[in-house]
Amino acid sequence: MKIVVAVTGASGIIYAKLLLENLVKLKKQTKDISLIFSKNAKDVCLQEMGEDVFNKFNFPIYKNDNFFVPFASGSSVYDAFVICPCSMGTLGRIASGISNDLITRTADVILKERKKLILITREMPLNLIQIENMRKITLSGGIICPASPSFYSKAKTIDDLAFTVVDRIIDLIGLENKTFRWKTNGF
């Protein structure tokens, strides 16, 4: 499976960090993982994590103004694009069909090729414009996955709680994921 992960300047860098750590563990199920960072993503990372936590990953990183990469074209075959976290500005540009950088162009390509676009949103509360933008993306085939952790797994740490969101992302991508599952007779 070929996957692109973008990180935007929305709060919630922990989700991107844990997602990439999990993708490393699942590397036997993936063929290619590529990264894109928005202009503000690194600044938010430093603010929230105290350091650039993305230096340790051995994935190719593409500049957000570079349109000469394989996944910027429908002629290359990528299976999924995850924007984690996804800012409302990025979501709005995607919903409006504005492809002014590599992140929005990749989303446009993924949607037109009917592949998986998964947006991990972090904003709350939502205004009507944001809700309508989410509706447009959903009608176009994208998946809106709010970063809403679950509590029934009885997480003990912040990372454990954030992993409940990351596990859902892994499931949505379509990778085999051994994680806590809800049972029909309760926990």
Decide if 155 contacts 5 (C-beta within 8 A).
no
Query: Is 170:22 a contact under the CB 8 Å cutoff?
Result: yes
Cβ neighbour number for residue 53 with a 10 Å cutoff:
18
Question: Which residue in this structure is represented by tokens 């007779």?
Answer: 185
Q: What is the mean pLDDT of the chain?
A: 94
Is there a domain that residue 183 lies in? no
- For 143-153, the pLDDT digits (tens) are 999 999 988 88
Does residue 180 lie within any of the structural domains? no
Would you say residue 187 lies in a domain? no
> Which residues, 6+ apart, have CB-to-CB distance to 72 below 8 Å?
66, 102, 105, 106, 109
Q: Which CATH number fits the domain that encloses residue 52?
A: 3.40.50.1950
Decide: pTM greater than 0.85: yes
What is the number of structural domains in the chain? 1
- Residue 135 resides in a domain: yes
The yes-or-no verdict on residue 187 having pLDDT over 60 is: no
- Rounded CA-CA distance 159/166 in Å is 10
Predicted confidence (pLDDT) per residue in 27-57, tens digit: 999 999 999 999 999 999 999 999 889 988 9
Per the structure, the complete domain to which residue 42 belongs is given by: 2-173
Q: Answer yes or no: is 181 within a domain.
A: no
Residue 186 has pLDDT above 80, yes or no: no
